[in-house]
Amino acid sequence: MRGLFHKVPMYWGLAIVLFMLLFPFVNDSRSTLILLTQIFIFAIFAMSFDILLGYTGIVSFGHCMFFGIGAYSTAIIFNQLEANLLTFMIGLVIGIALSVLVSYIIGLLSLRLKSHFYAMLTLAVSQLFLVLAEKWRGVTHGGDGFTFSVPDLFKDRTSFYYITLLSVAVVFILLKLFTESSTGKVLKAISQNEHRAEALGYKTLHYKLIASVTAGVAASFSGALYAVSLRFINTNVFSIEVTLDALLMTMIGGLGTLAGAIAGAGIIEFLRHYLSELAMAYPIFERWTIILGFLYIVVLLGFPSGLAGFIKKLTLKKKRKVKKKEELKKIA
Amino acid sequence: MSLLKLDNLETYLEQYHILQGVSMSVEEGSITVLFGRNGAGKTTTLRSIMGFNPSTTGTVHFHNQNISKLSTHLISRKGIGYVPENQGIFSGLTVEETLNLAKAKSAGETEAKMEWMLQLFPDLKKFWRKKSGLLSGGQKQMLAIARAYINGDGLLLIDEPSKGLSPIMVEKLMESLLKMKEKTTILLVEQNFLMASQIGDYFYIMDDGKIVHEGLMEDLKEDKETCQKYLGIA
Amino acid sequence: MEVFINLLVNGVSTGLLIFLLAAGLTLIFGLMSVLNFAHGGLFVWGAFSGAWIFTETNSFLLAIAGAILIGMGLGWVMERFLIRPVYGNHVRQLLITLGGMLILSESIKIFWGPNPIRVNMPGWLEGSYQFDGIIIIKYRVFVIVIGLLLYLALWLLLRHTQIGLMIRAGVMDKEMVQALGINVKGLFTFVFLLGAALAALGGALLAPYSGVVFAEMGMQYAILAFIVVIIGGMGSLQGSALASLIVGVAGAFAAYFMPDLSLALNMLLLVIVLLVKPTGLLGEKGSAV
């Protein structure tokens, strides 16, 4: 836990949480609340992806499948049963159980493979889920999707806002603890040099499986919240764009920091909101995804450690400058 | 006049400081042998000359021209032939294809060089259409040397050619290298002292990324103390 | 019988279209260990620009030539600005080529709108042949002929030219090829442009075949091509050709007899190959494990 206080200055985190807690009292604009709720949901999704890419160095191009599994499980259960909290719990548990199963099987079959094979395989499997959702019309209503009702607690924008805020905080702390644990340290070692970790006697496959199941569970949870927030679902949750969202958010925020993933989710969702509003005035912005794509490439080429790395560099430079000044003073 | 001259070469592999200021020179028309135990930096020295692991500081001069900042293919085109430690055989290519590839960007009289190599290593002619991967260990070594000779022009870098060969093959190899010496300069990395001491003119000994000894091969044979200290020979 | 032959023709022609995509992928991977996730983007650009030039000029040959040129231009930009800067870093390569894919398929929507576009068949390729009551669509025969010719041309290029020799040697040992004075970077650019041209051509040929083109089909076909490349063995042209035919024919039969399972069938093929022979059917190096 100590590391937690070290890495994310505690007062910053607290200040942000406090601000977010008070926010609905200051500004009760519906659209802002909805936007923030979306940010919280995608922050959880981005953090789950960060466990894979940032902490373990696993490149998955099919992360949307867990998001989709969580979303569909909840949506289908709400469609079949009464809209109460117990139903939500059942849906959540089913989604998480399915994600554990799927991530475990995929991991067992393919985590031994080299990174590009794994990336390709996960992409293909996620597309398989997309096809499945499209063809299994009896349950999913295919590409048209279906609406469903949710408990009143979730219908109210303010209370749902607090639920998602709480979720982000809890998931952040849990994942932070996970990455600071001894398992998390092995994951970091794997991301730096898998062969060395293996030579040190760690069963890397075992640890990579743990990482991918953990990521799958968190992604599934965020998917469930996403479905509830929309009260509607269609096959889009399985689309490659969802995986790309996770990639963008973690890359822009900074890999392997969790906090970076949250910041990335904020930036991307804000941009998306802003750009799609611009699109009403200037049709060229209807294709804002391409702007995100260029941003992503610029970040990859120019700032490979994302916003978090950039800030770190800046503060390091500052510190060095201060140090230099002090040294100069001493000499003088 | 020295054909190849290394001046204070320093090379890192990842964070490891492998070459820590290597200086040596190879005289034209000689066989110069680079000795040293495993991990001393012999292979890295050759790889730095070839530009695979470029040095961070120091220079390599070939024909009095600084080649240390060039990329590998340009270094090769200056006329340096290279035989790597693992022989670097293109296992899916036939002997014919391999030697044709060596000619592709080669300088000098490629036809004459090819003919001479086939004369020196008749096995290559015998297995002209055979896949290189199917040759014996000795034949692969000959193919690698022939390829480097045909591709190069004036200098051959050969990394531990005797490794894994039978004593008879080593004997043959020595004879061939002595014959080749008449037409090309050779820088040889070797652990087999018995073999190298018979064909070498000059020697360098490396230890921990530095040159610790150098001189005429004849003198080294007499110098029991150095032999014992660095080469483990009593 | 008629059904059988028709499905076979469909399968072989689709398989050869996939092969055009897979050939570039497998060569690029073999030579430079880059799995190009943006390859499908070149394919879909070929499809759209070919269709567009055809409607504008009404010349199918011009359409194909234009598509190839555009594909090569985009391929050049991609190689120079996306792939070269991250050369040697597998993770960043994967991430950046996926970004390239996103940009290519989104920019399609900027030029041609987000909706699918109808494509007409060139007049001289319309219609069908009849043998003993078996009807075979002309255009499919055309695709098969072109596909086989291109396979032959690629085979000749790799087997009987000097640059082909260099490429094959580069697939086996990149360093040694450089030590022989050959500029591997130049070789890679050549192979990348060749791959881009084949992908764009594949797209341009597909457009009249399927009658309609849409931005997402780049990813769909890229996934098929990935499956083909892995089944056939990374870096092996013959392997890709063989696997393309298997996937194409299996897909055609599956689409007829159990339409819901066609993608699942390919995935099943892939899993079996990965479990039984991770190097692929004809792959020697570049094992998946």
Q: C102-133 pLDDT, tens per residue?
A: 899 999 998 998 899 999 888 888 888 888 77
Dist CA A330 CA C91 (whole Å):
45
As a whole number, mean pLDDT of residues A304-309 equals 72
Interface test with C, best of B62, B72, B106 (most C CBs within 10 A): B72
A9 pLDDT band, cuts 50/70/90, is low
Residue B143: its pLDDT value, please?
Answer: 96
**Contact yes or no for A117 and C86 at CB 8 A:** no
As a whole number, mean pLDDT of residues A14-32 equals 79
C286 pLDDT band, cuts 50/70/90, is very low
Dist CA A38 CA C18 (whole Å):
39
As a whole number, mean pLDDT of residues A102-112 equals 89
Least Cα separation, residue B133 to chain C (angstroms) = 11
A90 pLDDT band, cuts 50/70/90, is very high
- Mark residue A90 as left, alpha or beta (left: phi above 0; alpha: psi -120 to 50; beta: remaining): alpha
Q: Which residue of C has its CA nearest to A135?
A: C260
Q: What is the dihedral of CA A228, A229, A234, A240, to 10 degrees?
A: -110
Asked whether residue A2 carries a pLDDT value surpassing 50, the answer given is: no
Structure token pair of residue C257: 């007899």
CA-nearest of A286, B185, A168, A255 to C91 is A255
Asked whether residue A231 carries a pLDDT value surpassing 50, the answer given is: yes
CA-to-CA separations, A74 to A281, C21, C199, in angstroms, rounded: 36, 39, 41
Least Cα separation, residue A176 to chain C (angstroms) = 23
Residues C186-234 have pLDDT tens digits of 999 999 999 999 999 999 999 998 889 999 899 889 988 988 998 998 8
Least confident of B180-194, C58-72, C265-279: C265-279
**ipTM confidence:** 0.92
Q: What does the DSSP 8-state code read for residue C79?
A: I
Residues A243-294 have pLDDT tens digits of 988 998 998 888 888 888 999 999 999 988 888 888 787 777 777 788 888 8
Asked whether residue A1 carries a pLDDT value surpassing 50, the answer given is: no
Single-letter amino acid code for the residue at B10: E
Helix (H) or strand (E) holding C27, with range, is helix C2-32
DSSP labels, A38-90: HHHHHHHHHHHHHIIIIII----S-THHHHHHHHHHHHHHHHHS-SSHHHHHH
**Contact yes or no for B105 and C181 at CB 8 A:** yes
Give residues with Cβ within 8 angstroms of C249, minimum separation 6: C7, C8, C11, C12, C15
B149 pLDDT band, cuts 50/70/90, is very high
**Contact yes or no for B101 and C165 at CB 8 A:** yes
Interface test with C, best of A117, A243, A245, A292 (most C CBs within 10 A): A117
Whether the CB-CB separation of C16 and C22 falls below 8 Å is answered with no
Average pLDDT, chain C: 89
CB atoms within 10 A of CB C236: 24
SS3 state of residue B10: strand
Does the A2-305 domain belong in CATH 2.60.40? no
As a whole number, mean pLDDT of residues B134-144 equals 94
Residue A280: its pLDDT value, please?
Answer: 80
Asked whether residue A113 carries a pLDDT value surpassing 90, the answer given is: no
As a whole number, mean pLDDT of residues B49-53 equals 95
Dist CA C250 CA B55 (whole Å):
54
Residue C287: its pLDDT value, please?
Answer: 46
Residues A127-171 have pLDDT tens digits of 889 988 988 888 888 888 899 988 888 888 889 999 999 999 999
Residues B24-42 have pLDDT tens digits of 999 999 999 999 988 899 9
Asked whether residue B122 carries a pLDDT value surpassing 90, the answer given is: yes
Residues A157-214 have pLDDT tens digits of 889 999 999 999 999 999 999 999 999 999 988 888 888 888 888 888 999 999 999 9
User: What CATH number does the domain located at B1-79+155-161+185-234 have?
Assistant: 3.40.50.300
As a whole number, mean pLDDT of residues B165-178 equals 92
B124 pLDDT band, cuts 50/70/90, is very high
A120 pLDDT band, cuts 50/70/90, is confident
CB atoms within 10 A of CB C282: 18
As a whole number, mean pLDDT of residues B122-138 equals 94
Residue A317: its pLDDT value, please?
Answer: 67
Chain B interface with C: residues with Cβ < 8 Å: 50, 52, 71-74, 76-77, 82, 84, 88-93, 97-98, 100-102, 104-106, 147, 151
Residues C220-271 have pLDDT tens digits of 899 889 889 989 988 888 999 999 999 999 989 988 888 777 777 887 888 7
Residue C244: its pLDDT value, please?
Answer: 95
**Contact yes or no for C175 and B52 at CB 8 A:** yes
Residue A221: its pLDDT value, please?
Answer: 97
Asked whether residue A314 carries a pLDDT value surpassing 80, the answer given is: no
Query: Does C127 contact A at CB distance below 8 Å?
Result: no
Residue C120: its pLDDT value, please?
Answer: 87
Query: Does C274 contact A at CB distance below 8 Å?
Result: yes
DSSP labels, B111-128: HHHHHHHHHH-HHHHHTT
A66 pLDDT band, cuts 50/70/90, is very high
Asked whether residue A3 carries a pLDDT value surpassing 60, the answer given is: no
SS3 state of residue C132: coil
Whether the CB-CB separation of B78 and B50 falls below 8 Å is answered with no
| Strands of the sheet with B31-36, listed across from one edge | B80-83, B155-159, B185-189, B31-36, B202-207, B210-216
Per-domain residue ranges of chain B: 1-79+155-161+185-234
Question: For the CA atoms of chain B, what is the radius of gyration?
Answer: 17
Cross-chain CB nearest to C169 (options B71, B93, B151): B93
Residue A240: its pLDDT value, please?
Answer: 86
Asked whether residue A117 carries a pLDDT value surpassing 60, the answer given is: yes
Cross-chain CB nearest to C96 (options A112, A113, A297): A297
As a whole number, mean pLDDT of residues C55-84 equals 94
Chains adjacent to A (≥3 CB pairs closer than 8 angstroms): C
Give residues with Cβ within 8 angstroms of B226, minimum separation 6: B205, B213, B220
| % residues pLDDT > 90 (chain B) | 80
Residue A24: its pLDDT value, please?
Answer: 78
- Chain C residue numbers with beta carbons less than 8 Å from the beta carbon of A119 are 35, 37, 94
Residue A84: its pLDDT value, please?
Answer: 87
Residue A331: its pLDDT value, please?
Answer: 58
Single-letter amino acid code for the residue at C280: G
- Mark residue C235 as left, alpha or beta (left: phi above 0; alpha: psi -120 to 50; beta: remaining): left
Single-letter amino acid code for the residue at C244: S
Give residues with Cβ within 8 angstroms of C220, minimum separation 6: A127, C40
Residues B60-114 have pLDDT tens digits of 999 999 999 999 999 999 999 999 999 999 998 999 999 999 999 887 788 999 9
What is the pTM for the complete model shown? Answer: 0.86
A319 pLDDT band, cuts 50/70/90, is low
C289 pLDDT band, cuts 50/70/90, is very low
Residue A328: its pLDDT value, please?
Answer: 62
Asked whether residue A300 carries a pLDDT value surpassing 90, the answer given is: no
CA-nearest of A36, A66, A55 to A222 is A66
Q: What is the dihedral of CA B159, B187, B80, C158, to 10 degrees?
A: -20
